Amino acid sequence: AQTIAAATDGKGADIVLEMVGHNQSTINDALEHVACAGIVVAFGVPDDRAYSGFEYSTFFRKNVTLIASVIPDPSVDFPEAVQLIEEGRFSTEGVFTHVLPLAQVQQAFQLASDYADGVVKVVVDFS
């Protein structure tokens, strides 16, 4: 929050990507950090049919454009995303918080399911 405020002189980001889902608070976090008349793109898949805690007043007051999106074609988009990461054009720092070997795949799923130990995304290393 402080980093976003400092980088934008307190105005908020023009575009915020909500990529977590599964947690009702993250869409409100996106609304908090987007600039007035900014855009929030919701990629994260929600677990619930309705978010009872959605801060509609913030959404309305800031005149936010909310775009719901999913990957339209994984056969195209996934390889492109991998390429961007491999080329260093997109940083995964802070996104992939845990990397576990294939032998610990059950622990990886449990960690991701429990949202334990500061987990954001868990990677299973098949090498």
pLDDT in tens, the chain (127 residues): 789 999 999 999 999 999 887 778 899 999 999 999 999 999 888 888 887 789 999 999 999 999 988 766 778 888 998 999 999 998 888 889 999 999 999 999 999 999 888 899 999 999 9
Q: What is the pTM (predicted TM-score) of this model?
A: 0.59
* 115 and 85 in a common domain: yes
Distance of CA 78 to the CA centre of its chain: 16
Identify the domain boundary among 24, 48, 68: 68
60 and 8 part of one domain: yes
Half-sphere exposure for 25 (CA within 13 Å, toward CB):
0
Q: Which domain holds residue 100?
A: 74-125
Alpha-carbon Rg for the chain in angstroms = 17
Same domain for 78 and 108? yes
